[in-house]
């Protein structure tokens, strides 16, 4: 059954409520900054569930990892460990069928977004939470990859609340 944007938003809010994780409807706040987002929830510390205006057929789930300045200094192409980490992260994202995008602040890599989507025709609680769990699982693997390639890499992004556990407990 085809769902419109309002139906998708209401369903998503119900699916988020099941988790008992704090969330915020950021729709009004995001509309002030961007005309590309129709609605958006921020869940816990770093999960964003949103609906882009240009896509009527899907919602997006993102885990945004922000790196502190001391970690960002390590993330340069001239660092062989970073090149190795990029390859490992690309491989895990490909295997798990999620996207990833490095977030830059001028020339500095300031973070990494791990993301996937759920098509509106199959948007139900199980598909939503399976997608969320998959993105969260990949996010956890990415953090392990970064820590194993860089001694002392902190990835302090408060992810424990929303990404290091299953949404079912």
Pairwise CA distance, residues 124 & 113, whole Å: 24
Mean pLDDT (whole number) for 61-87: 90
Whether the Cβ atoms of residue 38 and residue 53 lie closer than 8 Å to each other: yes
Let me know if residue 31 belongs to a domain.
Answer: yes
Let me know if residue 169 belongs to a domain.
Answer: no
Burial 59-89 (b: 16+ CB within 10 A, else e): bbbbbbbbbeeebbebbeeeeebbeebbebb
CB neighbours (10 Å) of residue 31?
14
Percentage of the chain modeled with pLDDT above 70: 90
Single pTM value for the model: 0.84
Whether the Cβ atoms of residue 75 and residue 104 lie closer than 8 Å to each other: no
Q: What CATH number should be reported for the domain holding residue 47?
A: 3.30.1460.10
Let me know if residue 13 belongs to a domain.
Answer: yes
pLDDT tens digits along 43-54 = 998 899 999 999
Residue 127's domain spans which residues?
Answer: 5-161
Mean pLDDT (whole number) for 118-133: 95
Asked whether the predicted pLDDT for residue 156 surpasses 80, the reply is no
Q: Residue 146 contacts by C-beta under 8 Å, 6 or more apart in sequence?
A: 71, 85, 89, 153, 155
As for how many domains the chain has, the answer is 1
Pairwise CA distance, residues 8 & 22, whole Å: 19
Residue 161's pLDDT band, with cuts at 50, 70 and 90, is very low
Q: Scanning the structure block, which residue is given the tokens 């958006």?
A: 40
């Amino acid at each position: 059954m085809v769902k419109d944007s309002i139906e998708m938003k209401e369903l998503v809010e119900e699916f988020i409520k099941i988790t008992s994780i704090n969330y915020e409807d950021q729709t009004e706040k995001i509309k002030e900054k961007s005309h590309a987002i129709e609605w958006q929830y921020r869940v816990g510390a770093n999960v964003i569930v949103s609906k882009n205006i240009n896509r009527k057929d899907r919602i997006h789930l993102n885990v945004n990892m922000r790196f502190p300045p001391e970690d960002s200094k390590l993330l340069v192409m001239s660092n062989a460990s970073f090149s190795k980490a990029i390859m490992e992260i690309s491989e895990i994202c490909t295997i798990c069928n999620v996207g990833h995008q490095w977030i830059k602040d001028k020339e500095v890599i300031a973070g990494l977004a791990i993301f996937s989507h759920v098509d509106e025709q199959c948007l139900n609680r199980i598909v939503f939470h399976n997608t969320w769990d998959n993105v969260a699982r990949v996010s956890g693997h990415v953090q392990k990859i970064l820590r194993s390639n860089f001694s002392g890499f902190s990835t302090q992004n408060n992810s424990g609340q929303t990404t290091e556990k299953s949404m079912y407990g």
